[in-house]
């Protein structure tokens, strides 16, 4: 079965301004079943407060459109926001999923955090997808592309004619995602991008972030053809070695995301917050000097 064998999914993006993240609902127009992709759990690092405003906005849309949630999908363990996958599973009963290489990310960050008891088998999700795995959203066929580079575990979900690429490609005027996190690789990112650009030119490309360059309005949809022709990093780097040089030079100037050490301890647990301690409060664990060589702001 190919993407053309099913209906074209309806895609609604939800822009989260604090982190520049885009969350998605992709739905089947025939069955009204849907997948929620990369949902955000609100977090304020200054006060330590969490909230479910973003996830509740998605649930309100699902109710208003008469949709049934079939999947809750994360493209990778995010470094800049908490995942709302666990919260949405509790509200909808839908299974959660991520790429199977998440186990490598869990092992890496388990060591950084010193989480002795953390299971590193992906059991925090209901399903872990391998390269080429097929599933469906209603009658819309879907498949998984393994897209490492930004992280060891990143995947692209191709749902009908829509590719959810998160941190591989940004909008053409913004280039590509960084590859300097622990486990990242600019060379692997280049190869992942080439696999995405090999999709049909009319394939819709939905990014996971937009930082509104030049103060323009947030945008998150392009096509494979537009990315091939206009993406600033792809046009500038015609070879893998060119891309690695451009990407690594750029990454060396970037400070770490402000929430990386906050978010990953939640996201390697499938969006599960730390268990309450004896006083009923939850605590994040914050390792010092864990990311050596990171640029300072």
Q: What are phi and psi of 195, to 5 degrees?
A: -65, -40
Average pLDDT rounded to a whole number, residues 115-121: 97
Is 277 a domain residue?
no
- Give the C-alpha separation, 249 to 251, whole Å: 6
pTM of the model: 0.95
pLDDT over 50 (residue 276): yes
Number of domains in the chain: 1
CB–CB of 78/267 below 8 Å? yes
CATH at residue 166: 3.60.15.10
The model's pLDDT over 263-273, given as tens digits with 9 standing for 90+, comes to 999 999 999 99
Is 284 a domain residue?
no
- Give the C-alpha separation, 202 to 162, whole Å: 9
Is 13 a domain residue?
yes
Is 274 a domain residue?
no
With a CB cutoff of 8 Å and minimum separation 6, the contacts of 202 are: 161, 223, 224, 225
The model's pLDDT over 141-181, given as tens digits with 9 standing for 90+, comes to 999 999 999 999 999 999 999 999 999 999 999 999 999 99
Is 142 a domain residue?
yes
The model's pLDDT over 8-29, given as tens digits with 9 standing for 90+, comes to 999 999 999 999 999 999 999 9
Average pLDDT rounded to a whole number, residues 37-54: 97
The model's pLDDT over 197-224, given as tens digits with 9 standing for 90+, comes to 999 999 999 999 999 999 999 999 999 9
- Give the C-alpha separation, 177 to 165, whole Å: 10
Average pLDDT rounded to a whole number, residues 190-201: 98
pLDDT of residue 2: 47
- Give the C-alpha separation, 11 to 233, whole Å: 26
Range of the domain at 49: 9-267
């Amino acid at each position: 079965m190919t993407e053309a064998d099913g209906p074209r999914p309806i895609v609604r993006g939800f822009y989260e301004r604090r982190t520049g993240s885009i969350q998605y609902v992709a739905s089947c127009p025939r069955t009204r079943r849907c997948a929620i992709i990369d949902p955000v759990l609100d977090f304020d690092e200054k006060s330590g407060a969490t909230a479910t405003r973003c996830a509740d906005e998605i649930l309100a849309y699902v109710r208003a459109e008469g949709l049934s949630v079939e999947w809750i999908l994360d493209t990778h363990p995010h470094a800049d926001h908490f995942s709302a996958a666990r919260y949405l599973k509790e509200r909808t009963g839908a299974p959660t999923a991520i790429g199977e290489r998440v186990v490598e990310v869990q092992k890496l960050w388990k060591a950084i955090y010193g989480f002795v008891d953390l299971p590193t088998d992906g059991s925090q999700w209901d399903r872990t997808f391998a390269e080429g795995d097929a599933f469906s959203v209603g009658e819309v066929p879907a498949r998984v592309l393994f897209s490492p580079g930004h992280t060891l575990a990143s995947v692209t979900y191709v749902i009908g004619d829509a590719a959810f690429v998160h941190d591989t490609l940004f909008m053409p005027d913004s280039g590509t995602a960084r590859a300097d996190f622990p486990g990242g690789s600019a060379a692997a990112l280049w190869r992942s991008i080439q696999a995405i650009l090999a999709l049909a030119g009319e394939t819709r490309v939905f990014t996971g972030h937009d930082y509104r360059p030049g103060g323009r309005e947030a945008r998150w949809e392009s096509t494979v053809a537009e990315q091939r022709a206009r993406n600033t990093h792809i046009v500038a780097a015609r070879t893998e070695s060119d891309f690695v040089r451009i990407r690594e030079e750029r990454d060396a100037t970037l400070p770490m995301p402000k929430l990386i050490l906050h978010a990953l301890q939640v996201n390697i647990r499938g969006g599960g917050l730390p268990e309450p301690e004896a006083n009923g409060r939850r605590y994040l664990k914050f390792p010092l000097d864990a990311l050596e060589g990171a640029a300072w702001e």
